[in-house]
């Protein structure tokens, strides 16, 4: 009986450990398949300056980044001051790009408004990052992305 109790406890602990380890490996898989700009460069290869130059030389519908959730592709276009890269360029960094990628690949899908949200791990998880989808150019485009403030990210307990 003690062995069964230990096995149950180990199994419960193992499941929790798998949950902790699954997110980084899923994010790594998403990094391997996504996060490329239109020229095929990896996400870390192109800086904000090079994206800005591309958007200056191309129209608002030019794709600067692609992100994946399974087989679904989500794009970040140059956009305008109200949507797309031009809208979020003042927040742009490698870290911000990685948060968008991780949120799309591993986040919880919300439908009103259509968005992906990333939560801390349970129990009492709270929303930490949000990516809104859908622009005038296409339905699977990134409209905006932002870190959710602590006041609006109440724990779900």
Q: Rounded to whole angstroms, how far apart are CA atoms 116 and 132?
A: 7
| 51-86 per-position pLDDT tens digit | 999 999 999 999 999 999 999 999 999 999 999 999
Residue 127 binned pLDDT confidence (cut-offs 50, 70, 90): confident
Q: Please give the torsion angle defined by the CA atoms of residues 131, 134, 140 and 144, in that order, rounded to the nearest 10 degrees.
A: -30
Q: Cis peptide leading into 123, omega within 30 of 0?
A: yes
Residue with the larger pLDDT of the pair 124 and 107: 107
| 98-112 per-position pLDDT tens digit | 999 999 998 888 876
List Cα–Cα distances, 134 to 40, 42, 45, 97, 142, in angstroms: 23, 24, 26, 18, 6
Q: Rounded to whole angstroms, how far apart are CA atoms 19 and 32?
A: 20
Residue with the larger pLDDT of the pair 84 and 153: 84
pLDDT recorded at residue 122: 66
pLDDT recorded at residue 59: 92
Q: 89 and 144 in contact (C-beta within 8 Å)?
A: no
Tokens matching residue 60: 């608002």
Q: Please give the torsion angle defined by the CA atoms of residues 52, 56, 60 and 61, in that order, rounded to the nearest 10 degrees.
A: -80
């Amino acid at each position: 009986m003690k062995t069964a109790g230990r096995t149950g406890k180990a199994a419960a602990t193992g499941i929790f450990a798998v949950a902790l380890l699954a997110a980084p490996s899923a994010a790594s898989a998403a990094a391997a398949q996504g996060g490329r700009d239109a020229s095929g460069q990896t996400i870390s290869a192109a800086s904000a300056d090079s994206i800005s130059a591309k958007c200056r030389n191309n129209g608002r519908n030019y794709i600067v980044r692609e992100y994946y959730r399974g087989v679904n592709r989500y794009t970040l276009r140059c956009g305008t001051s109200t949507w797309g890269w031009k809208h979020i360029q003042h927040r742009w960094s490698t870290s911000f790009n990685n948060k968008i990628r991780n949120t799309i690949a591993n986040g919880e899908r919300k439908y009103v408004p259509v968005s992906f949200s990333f939560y801390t791990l349970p129990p009492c998880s709270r929303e930490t990052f949000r990516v809104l989808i859908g622009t005038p150019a296409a339905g699977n485009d990134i409209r905006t992305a932002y870190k959710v403030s602590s006041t609006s990210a109440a724990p779900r307990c």
